Amino acid sequence: MTQATQSPLVLGAMMFGTTVDERTSFALLDRFVERGGSWIDTADCYAFWAADTGRGGDSERLLGRWLVARPGVRDRVRIATKLGAEPLEPGSWPQRREGLSPAAVRAAFTGSLDRLGLDRVDLLWLHQEDRSVPIEDTVEALAGLGADRFGVSNHPAWLVERGRAHARAIGARPFDALQLNATYLRPRPGTLPPGVAHRFGILSDEQADYAAEHQMDLWAYTPLLSGAYDNPAKPIPAVYDHPGNTARLAVLDEVAAESGASRGQVVLAWLLGRGIRPMLGGSKLAQLDSALEGVALKLSEDQVQRLDAPDHAGWADPYARR
């Protein structure tokens, strides 16, 4: 593999080892590294809904095999995994999942390290909130784990702040990253787009402002609507069907045509311009190449202003930097 300029894109390994076979997964991982990618995101529960066993772990196991098969690549990639959402028994999610108790956190992380074949990870995420456990207890459990950084996904801002405050109080490393759903279009209020199973899963104005104020990283999952921006066979989900998005799609088409880019590439560039690191979970090399070109696309100031114009017409922009 040849060294390349580091890309801000995150490669999501959600379906690796289940619907994306090993040969294809290895090819995607290799291409990602060849083109300067570094962050790879997985979870202990990936992808239980697509696995014959009804349990997660296939994605982490595949990444572990890839790391063994590519000596030296560990020095070039950063591994992020999540815990808290694995079903306790096949078919029991979401009613029964591992959750975030200290015992569950320690056991889940031990399992992740074993499947990945690592002694530590670069970033460990809490996958979704667990109101049955005080966040302070979870933070204390995290403090003893082999992770360089900690982040949260699908949590309300107030709970993130409680966790960060407790970490500071005990001299532990606070959460410094948020992972949420974000894209150029806005869902109708009170709705959840496909792929978002948590009521605090969509990046809100409050969460974006909190992250900016505390200089936390923002990662965006499903930024390309699973291909719906550019694939005619995949209609844009109905939750995005409203007048504000009619205006957004019109200017998105204009900017894409001017840039010689696809809609999706413009969306990735637009997100990155707001300090949001987009995540790609594709299954084809062409999808990965297109996304890597999208995050390298430079939008002009005029194009950014026009893309933002629907917000200035009355639609609040939850992703704007403060």
107 vs 272: CA distance, rounded Å: 35
Sign of the alpha-carbon dihedral angle for 142, 94, 111, 44: negative
Residue 265 tokens, joined: 């590439």
DSSP 8-state assignment for residue 173: P
User: Residue 11 in 3-state DSSP?
Assistant: strand
Residue 49 tokens, joined: 């809904």
Residue 176 tokens, joined: 């410094």
Selecting among 46, 210, 221, 240, the annotated active-site residue is 46
Helices (runs of H) and strands (runs of E) counted in the chain: 10, 8
181 vs 226: CA distance, rounded Å: 12
Question: Is 210 in the active site?
Answer: no
Residue 237 tokens, joined: 């989900």
Contact 274, 308 (CB under 8 A): no
Residue 185 tokens, joined: 């279009």
Residue type, 31: R
Nearest CA-CA partner of 35 in 68, 77, 67: 77
Q: What is the CA angle 21-231-240, rounded to 5?
A: 110
Q: What is the CA angle 275-82-52, rounded to 5?
A: 125
By annotation, the residues acting in catalysis are 46
